[in-house]
A and B are shown apart, each in its own frame.
Chain A
Amino acid sequence: ELKVEQNPLFLSMQEGKNYTIYCNYSTTSDRLYWYRQDPGKSLESLFVLLSNGAVKQEGRLMASLDTKARLSTLHITAAVHDLSATYFCAVDNTDKLIFGTGTRLQVFP
């Protein structure tokens, strides 16, 4: 059974600081996705990582994928309050998405 774990589960960080969210998964997959969810809302797609070594950046967020280590990271640079949300990684398992536990991010002044 594929398991997807994220850490930390909860992250409170000050504006301007950097931090990394980790996503570990238990079986082979070369497709991984990152999503953002605001309270009461559905998912917003952030990144699609389709191969080992893939790195994508959008604004203050950068995601990477290491399929050999079964690890993806979401790096936050110089956090701002607008980034406060819950972030999920999801691993493709035979065309089904298995979601991670989620990381709830709060950015404070």
Chain B
Amino acid sequence: GAVVSQHPSRVICKSGTSVKIECRSLDFQATTMFWYRQFPKQSLMLMATSNEGSKATYEQGVEKDKFLINHASLTLSTLTVTSAHPEDSSFYICSARTPSVETQYFGPGTRLLVL
């Protein structure tokens, strides 16, 4: 089956630093990847959609300059949280899909804690 990995699984950082999260499709080529964030006991909120080789499309209310997304290859997308603050602490989940499949495959998530 299709597998999506995320790295790191957990990260703690100081306020003001930047954190990069990687999302990889391990056994398929992902033309589109999605980034979600989830606060405790809440639903998933789509942050942005990224297509390989083009700029990401951000959802309303998501700061492009704060959450930098790069989809440099068909198997890798990265999310960089710049100048992180405690309110950025959340569970970040990526997903990936190909046009031929009617579903998204979700990564295991990255838990970010900003002190």
- Interface check A43, CB cutoff 8 A: yes
- Contact, CB under 8 Å: B103 / A96: no
Contacts of A41 in B (CB 8 A): 108-109
Q: Using C-beta atoms within 8 Å of the partner chain, give the interface range for chain B.
A: 20 to 34
Residue-by-residue, is B34-49 near A (CB-CB < 8 Å gives 1, otherwise 0)? 1000000111111001
Selected from B34, B105, B109, the residue in CB contact (under 8 A) with A96 is B34
Given contacts A95-B32, A96-B34, A97-B34, contact A43 B46 (CB under 8 A): no
CB distance from A85 to the nearest CB of B (A): 13
- Interface check B15, CB cutoff 8 A: no
Q: Which of A40, A48, A97, A104 has the most CB of B within 10 A?
A: A97
CB distance from B32 to the nearest CB of A (A): 7
Q: How far is the CA of A41 from the CA of B106 in the complex (A)?
A: 11
Contacts of A33 in B (CB 8 A): 103
Q: How far is the CA of A43 from the CA of B6 in the complex (A)?
A: 13
- Contact, CB under 8 Å: B109 / A100: no
Given contacts A41-B108, A42-B109, contact A96 B102 (CB under 8 A): no
- Contact, CB under 8 Å: A96 / B107: no
Given contacts A95-B32, A96-B34, A97-B34, contact A42 B106 (CB under 8 A): yes
Contacts of B97 in A (CB 8 A): 95
Contacts of B111 in A (CB 8 A): 40
In the assembled complex, 30 residue pairs joining A and B whose CB atoms fall closer than 8 Å, in A order, are: A33-B103, A35-B106, A40-B111, A41-B108, A41-B109, A42-B93, A42-B106, A42-B107, A42-B108, A42-B109, A43-B44, A43-B106, A45-B103, A45-B105, A45-B106, A48-B102, A48-B103, A88-B44, A95-B32, A96-B34, A96-B49, A97-B34, A97-B46, A98-B46, A99-B45, A100-B43, A101-B43, A102-B42, A102-B43, A104-B41
